Copies of this chain bind each other. A is one copy, B any other.
Amino acid sequence: MAQLTIKDIAKICNVGVSTVSRAINNEPGISDKTKERIMQVVQEFNYIPNNSARNLKMVESNTIALIVTGIDNVFFQSMFGEFEVELRKHGFDYLLHAVSWQEDVVTVATELMKEKRLKGMILLGGQMERPEERLDALGIPYVLCTVAHSSEHPLPNCPWVGIDDELEGYNAVSYLINKGHRDIALVAGQRYDNAVSAQRLAGYRRALAEHGIPYREELVHFTDPQMTDFSPENGYVGAKELIASGVSFTAMFCMSDLITLGAYKALDEAGVRVPKDCSVIGFDGIELSKYMCPGLTTMYQPRVDMVKSSVELLMKEVGADNGPVHKIYEATLIERDSVITREE
């Protein structure tokens, strides 16, 4: 299939290439008549401009990279589709790039940036080391999405959107405490390498402290370093070990809905009924949480709004007005059937 170029179109229309360029890019300095005539031909011959040439000339492309740490995380995956429609809505292409835990995000980002002359990037994922300063220094437009954040250890003044992980962790546990629970197990992610996990843990501890409940190490389970964070396996093993340890609890806070899935399984196998014997609260509010049995009470993260805000912020950056902003969303508690009030 021989590709036809802007020159061909120009020849057919008997105009100069610049005129065609003006027509297809909706630029001023062209009469409506010729523009219409050109567009007619463009339609007819199904001409599509070569993106490489355009990008080359325009120094930067119209591509946004979506860099995600933890591409196998269902919560992130559920945002891909949204990102796609949102970015396309703004006329951008998007490039999905997974980075493993070993790789340095900034290195990857820089290479990608140069190689592709990207317009900007959205960093999705929680477990990366704070990349802001280096990214700022490089002058790369970016926005951080779903990074770990708390009011006590706030993210610097850089563009990001997310929730207050400490606060929402606090809210989740407070909810449990208000329901009469005092012995609350926690199934967490990585102990050291996951900032999101760390923040939600802090929220857990604060909620406990505020109600005069001592923090007990034996009630919390961190996942193995080599196990996938926030995964069903994480939850299964976590709950399993908690049960095996013999420690007693009437409620359980899982740091992700996927964790609860595995925890449900472990609980079930041990004959512990949810919520009768043990209440469970999750985090994220992914679609499947609704279909768990019993329906999972969970902290819903407004992921659709979050991706919208993310691209809006990025648009601001690459567009006219600068002024790094961020946006904190609140998680909303969805009450279903996995938590019951504990009788004295």
Contacts and interface: CB of A to CB of B under 8 A. Distances in A.
A221 interface: no
Nearest to A265: B291
Interface in A286-311: 287-288, 290-293, 295
Interface residues of A, number: 53
Contact of A84 (B52, B61, B98): B98
A194 interface: no
Interface stretch (A72-80, A157-165, A206-214, A275-283): A72-80
B72 A81 contact: yes
Contact of A48 (B53, B111, B287, B295): B111
A97 to B, nearest CB: 8
Nearest to A3: B114
Copies in the complex: 2
A265 B287 contact: no
B80 A291 contact: no
Contacts of A111: 48
A51 interface: yes
Given A3-B114, A95-B95, A291-B264, A53 B51 contact: no
Interface of A: 1, 3, 46, 48-53, 55-56, 61, 71-72, 74, 77-78, 80-81, 84-85, 93-98, 110-111, 114-117, 138-140, 231-232, 235-236, 258, 261-262, 264-265, 268, 287-288, 290-293, 295
Given A46-B110, A51-B52, A52-B55, 17 more contacts: A1-B139, A46-B114, A50-B56, A50-B115, A51-B117, A52-B56, A77-B77, A84-B96, A84-B97, A95-B96, A232-B290, A261-B292, A264-B291, A264-B293, A265-B292, A268-B293, A293-B293
